[in-house]
Amino acid sequence: MLKFFRNIRKQLAAKNKVTKYLWYAIGEILLVVIGILVALQVNNWNENQKAKVKETKVLNQLVDGLTLDRDKLEKELKKLKKVQYSIKELEKVLDDPDNPYNAELDTLFGMVYGMRNITLNKAFYEDLKTSGIHLIKNEKIRRKIVHLFENNYAQVFTLKNFEIHVNDVIRPYYLNNFQKIEFSVSAQPIDYNKIWNDPYYKNIVNYRYKTLEINHIAFFTKTIKAINSLFEEIEPYLKERNQ
């Protein structure tokens, strides 16, 4: 097409038909401009498609990783609630001085002493920050991702150090007053009557109950809710983007 216009322009220039020459020259320029614009549009479309593919891949990987963490949190939350129930039962037993000792109580004693930790995967979030969280175009989703990891996950990670502190409080008493100790499973009192009449031990039991309630159970529940809330944003967004 450009060659056609160029040939006509040369013929008109040779015949000294200036006005028509100018019109054909303008037409040639317009064709060049239109060609450039079309090429840019095609290039932009290709770049947008590439960005969409990258974004979809990143979000799918994020969902896969968070699903594993959510399942782990839910499983651990169920365990902790059972532990908490057992500790509450132990408190009831200790409140009754006439309660006779039996070996089944060793399980309740064991529940008080033990580290309650969980490991979540933050690596894919660090990778996302490195590769560019800007790949995710939806601002609301970006904000929720950042809040989930910088707040909810951060709280869960603090539990490791907190559990070390809790264990430092409980361990000395258990080592001095219990035998046949299995971490988080079982512990047999050396002197049953001493345990029953010791207000300090009752404080330890209550302390363990409260720390599970205020920290572990609260943090795990909030994190599960935050993950589900993020999924509620990501799933329809991906469906819309892939239509």
Q: Is the pLDDT of residue 14 over 90?
A: no
Region 78-100 average pLDDT: 90
Answer whether residue 123 shows pLDDT above 80: yes
Average pLDDT of 39-51?
57
Which one has a higher pLDDT value, 37 or 185?
185
Domain ranges, ordered by start, for the chain: 57-241
**Is residue 68 helix, strand or coil?**
helix
User: For 26-35, what is each residue's pLDDT tens digit?
Assistant: 666 666 656 5
Q: Which amino acid, one-letter code, is at 238?
A: L
* Residues 20-30, mean pLDDT to the nearest whole number: 57
Please provide the DSSP assignment of 179-201 as one string.
EEEETTTEEEESSHHHHHT-HHH
Model pLDDT, residue 176? 95
Q: Which residues contact 188 (CB under 8 A, 6 or more apart)?
A: 103, 106, 109, 178, 179, 180, 181
**Looking at the predicted structure, is the pLDDT value of residue 9 above 70?**
no
pLDDT of residue 133: 82
Report angle CA 230, 232, 238 to the nearest 5 degrees. Answer: 95
Q: For residue 233, name the pLDDT band (cuts at 50, 70, 90).
A: very high
Q: How confident is the model at residue 124 (pLDDT cuts 50, 70, 90)?
A: confident
Which pTM was predicted? Answer: 0.79
pLDDT for position 12: 47
Instruction: Give the model's pLDDT for residue 109.
Output: 94
Q: What are phi and psi of 120, to 5 degrees?
A: -110, 160
* pLDDT (mean) for 81-105: 89
Average pLDDT over residues 161-184: 91
What's the burial of 72, exposed, middle or buried (CB within 10 Å: 0-12/13-18/19+)? middle
